[in-house]
Structure 1
Amino acid sequence: MHRTTMLPGDWWDLTAENSVEDPPGQDVVALRAEIDQLRRALAGRMVIDQACGMVMVLAPCSRGPARNLLVDISRQCNTKLPEVAAAVVAAWEGEPLSRLMQRALRHALRRLYAEDRACDSSPADETSGRGRS
C-alpha cells in the first residue's frame, strides 16, 4: 500500500530563534546552511522521482532501470542528474530536449531495450534455435 503525504506550503519556512543579546552564532549559521542544503536535495529528489515515473510509463520498465537510464543520460551529457530529470519533466510539458540530451536518450533507450531482450532470451531458447538451423 502506498501512502501520499501532503505537506503544508509553509512547511519549509523554518526559523531559528535566539536572544537579542546573542548575535547569530556559528551553530545557527551552520544549521541554516544545512537546512538550505536539505531543501535543495529534496527538491532535486522530487524531480528525479517524477522523471523516473515518466520513464517507467513510457519505456515499460521498473524503477531501477528507469533511474539507470536517467543516470546514463546524465553521464553522456556531463550534466547533473536533477538537471536531466528537470529537462525530461519539461519535455513532457512541451519544452524540447537539447540535441545532446535527445541523442543520449536514444542511446540509453537502445541499451535498455537490448538488455531487456537479452534477459528475455533464455539458454533453452538459444539451444533449441540452433537445432533448427
Structure 2
Amino acid sequence: MRPSQRPGPRRDLVERPLPRAPRETARQVARPDGGMPTGEQLLAETQQLKEALERRPVVDMARGVLMAAWSCTADEGWEILVWVSQHSNTKVHDVAKALIATTQNEPLPAHIEEHLPAARVRWQASRDG
C-alpha cells in the first residue's frame, strides 16, 4: 500500500496552528517620550474622546447648513468652519453651534459674523479659480 492510499489524514495536509503574532503588553505601549502613560493621562484622553464624540454631530450639522445655504461639499463646509474658527479665534464646535443657532433665528456672534463673509468669498474664489 502506498502512503497516499493509507487511511487517515496525510501529514502534509494536517492543519497546523498558525504562528501567533506577539501580543502587545502594557510595557510595549509607550508614549513618544519613552515613558508609560499614567492613569491620569489615560483618563484625560478618554474624556477628550468622549467630548469629541458629543461635539461631532453639532459640527456635522453645521456643515450641512453650509452645504444647503452655499451649495458646497461636506469637505468645503469643514474647511469653511475651520477657517472661520482660526480667524475668529473660536473653537470649531462653538462656530458650529452659532451657525446652527441661526436656523432658529438667533444672530451670529459679532466675532464670527465678521469672518463668515470673508470665508465665503475665499471659498468662492477657490471654486472659481
Q: Percent identity?
A: 34
RMSD: 1.8
Corresponding residue SS for 1:36: helix
Q: Unpaired runs of 5+ in structure 2?
A: 1-37
Q: Unpaired runs of 5+ in structure 1?
A: 1-25, 119-133
Structure 1 residue ranges (4+ consecutive) displaced by more than 6 angstroms after TM superposition: none
> TM-score, normalising length from structure 2?
0.63
Corresponding residue SS for 2:108: coil
1:63-82, Cα deviation, whole Å (9 max, x unpaired): 11110000010011101111
Report the structure, 1 or 2, having the larger helix content: 1
Q: Distance in 1 between matches of 2:53 and 2:93?
A: 10
Q: Does 1:90 align with 2:101?
A: yes
| Letter paired with 1:116 | R
Q: Does 1:43 align with 2:18?
A: no
Displacement after TM superposition at 1:95 (Å): 1.4
Counterpart residue number, 1:60: 71
- 2:111 pairs with 77, 82, 100, which one? 100
Q: Does 1:117 align with 2:128?
A: yes
- Comparing 103-112 with 33-42, greater Cα deviation is found at 33-42
| Letter paired with 1:113 | Q
Displacement after TM superposition at 1:39 (Å): 2.2
> TM-score, normalising length from structure 1?
0.61
| Letter paired with 1:86 | K
1:63-113, Cα deviation, whole Å (9 max, x unpaired): 111100000100111011111111111112221111221120000001111
